[in-house]
Amino acid sequence: MAGNRKQILDAKGMKTLTEKLAAEIAAGGDRENLAIVGIRKRGVPLAERIVGILRERHDIKAEMGVLDITLYRDDLTMISQQPVVGGTDIKFDITGKRIVLVDDVLFTGRTIRAALSELGDFGRPSKIELAVLVDRGRRELPIAANYVGKTLSTGAGQLVDVLLAETDGRDAVEVVEQTGGGREGA
């Protein structure tokens, strides 16, 4: 059960951080073979925003893909008897590409591990990088992001909630205090 919410970023702050991520990706290497791959659910709208910024401000026409890691999760039986699979959509050959995975929050590293496993089924990129809007630390796996919008130090009873206009009707990042024994979240 969710408790108190504290807003960390508003829409303006999120826009600034997304532009920062796009600029760092643009400066980070091979621009000709760049593909941006969003991780469902909130990584996809962030990836779309980054692709738009790369095109408009940096004259980079990056390809865009979508990963649904549901069937690659190591906790699949714990989350649902009937998991909802949104579908992966990668319509290009990733072999030799510089892939930037995009997600909203980096926490334990398990989502990224699952994404790397699934991505490997599509080919062998020249490089895989990770861009996240928020890195909240507390890793369970040795995974680090190449591009980070904001780093937050959070406690065991806190959840980082990224709200996006495309999925939630508004842009914000909030820290939620968990009450009532709920699971630790993103």
Instruction: Kindly report, residue by residue over 109-145, the tens digit of the pLDDT.
Output: 999 999 999 999 999 999 999 999 999 988 999 999 9
Report how far residue 29's alpha carbon sits from residue 172's, in angstroms, rounded to the nearest whole number: 30
Range 55-60, long-range pairs (CB < 8 A, 24+ positions): 57/19, 57/22, 57/23, 57/26, 58/22, 58/23, 58/26, 58/31, 60/26, 60/31, 60/34
Q: How confident is the model at residue 91 (pLDDT cuts 50, 70, 90)?
A: very high
Contact (CB, 8 A) for 63 and 92: yes
- Residue 106 β-bridge partners: 135
Write out pLDDT tens, residues 15-47.
999 999 999 999 998 999 999 999 998 999 999
Q: Which CATH class is domain 10-155?
A: alpha beta
pLDDT for position 51: 98
In 10-126, the DSSP E strands lie at: 34-39, 63-67, 98-106
The whole-chain average pLDDT of the chain stands at 89
Q: What is the DSSP letter of 48?
A: H
**Does residue 80 or residue 172 have the better pLDDT?**
172
Q: What is the pTM of this model?
A: 0.89
